[in-house]
Amino acid sequence: MTLEEFPTLAILPWCRLKDDIKLGQVVFVDWQLGVGASRDLFVENDKLETVMSSYVDVHGQPIDRATIAMHKDAKTDGSISAKEIQEIGVAAQLLAFAAIAQNKYFPLIGQGTNSTCFRVIYQRIAEDNGIAISISHRCTGGILDGGWKHGDVHFTLPLQCQYVGEVNPAGEFVKALAYILNTNSSMATRLLRVIRLFTYAYTDDSYIPAEQEVIMLMMAFEGLFRNCQGRNDLACKVSTLLDEYGMITIGEANRKINKAKGLSPGMWLHRAWMYECYQLRNDYVHGNPPKSLTWSEYEHLVFASWLFPYLVKLLLSSVNEYELTKQDVGSLHAIDFILDTNDWNTKPKNENLSNWQLAERKGTREAQSKEIRIQAAKYHLTD
């Protein structure tokens, strides 16, 4: 039997939204234990609470809050089509991306989100409170097992979601991502493809090797641009997109840059980073041991994850679908400062911020100074 034959809920059991959010044809609705959903569903809340009793935290206690995805074409009986399933899945990945783009890196307090928190589970609603588990096995065509009741079978909160609190991926960036769903342009298609790759890599799952995440991230970076031809071309294209925000050249950097063919002292530091990160990807793909690195494997993974949403914002801005915020501009100016900083998670003596945060603060100040100079020039003011 298919999902179309059953009343079915699309549940994001590990996601807590501050407010309901609409993305394309899908609305993501907050549900709370003892309160219910923020909108009417085809199923009564007591029935829904029975269903949700199967989803527990790491201590075995039923979760008290989750998200329900509702398609605008949803039937009143709760049946769901294959097309609706596909559109809900895509919208959930874009919602995850919008939330990840808000993550703060190396805060002294707090935890960011990841794409695992936005995993969609399609839960059939049976009259007898029965539960069936379907497993997709490529070699056997799939397995369907049943005979249990809700509450008897438990699906446990993934550890990487344990300390993720309420998320609020709202605002103009979410509206800009809706452009990807509502437009058939080549850029929209390209961005959707690479955002999906990015979310596959950003699970925070400790069972996924770092080299696999690096490979997927570099596939996402390549996919941002048409006809990307290897590391030199990718480094050039990314640098061209970011050169307006360059602060430190390779020759000025405190870090000892492993210069390679095609890199010169006058180039921005972010170009050297992109070149080396893609070389790391090549080493992993071809089974070669990574060569002497300026940035560690971990640093490459973290920085690529942080930078990628800003590249998407820049491309959306280039087609007038998104306006960079002051925070965006400050972070873009911080790129080279971060790359030239060591021990990102360390808090220097007599400071209340980590080294990463201090580098971001430098970027914000540079952006503010540049804006002051631009405004002063308009009115012919001197320094």
pTM beyond cutoff 0.85? yes
Least confident span in 6-15, 196-205, 302-311, 334-343: 6-15
pLDDT of residue 31: 94
pLDDT digits (tens, 9 = 90+) for 232-247: 999 999 999 999 999 9
For residue 333, CA distances in Å to 150, 190, 202, 313 come to 51, 26, 24, 14
Structure tokens given for 50: 């029975």
CA dist., res. 199 & res. 276, Å (int)? 22
* 3-class SS string, the chain: CCHHHCCEEEEECCCCECCCEEECCEEEEEEECCCEECCCCCCCHHHHHHHHCCEECCCCCECCEEEEEEECCCCCCCCCCHHHHHHHHHHHHHHHHHHHCCCCCCCCCCCCCCHHHHCCEEEECCCCCEEEEEECCCCCCCEEEEEEEECCECEECCHHHCCCCCECCCCHHHHHHHHHHHCCCHHHHHHHHHHHHHHHHCCCCCCCCHHHHHHHHHHHHHHCCCCCCHHHHHHHHHHHHHHHHCCCECCCCCCCCCCCCCCCCCCEHHHHHHHHHHHHHHHHHCCCCCCCCCCCHHHHHHHHHHHHHHHHHHHHHHCCCCCCCHHHHHHHHCHHHHHCCCCCCCCCCCCCCCHHHHHHHHHHHHHHHHHHHHHHHHCCCCC
The closest of 358, 298, 367, 297 to 332, measured between CA atoms, is 367
pLDDT digits (tens, 9 = 90+) for 41-98: 888 888 888 888 889 999 999 999 999 999 998 888 888 888 999 999 999 999 999 9
Average pLDDT on 186-212 reads 93
Average pLDDT on 193-203 reads 96
Domain boundaries, the chain: 3-161, 172-378
- 3 or 121, greater pLDDT: 121
Average pLDDT over all residues of the chain: 89
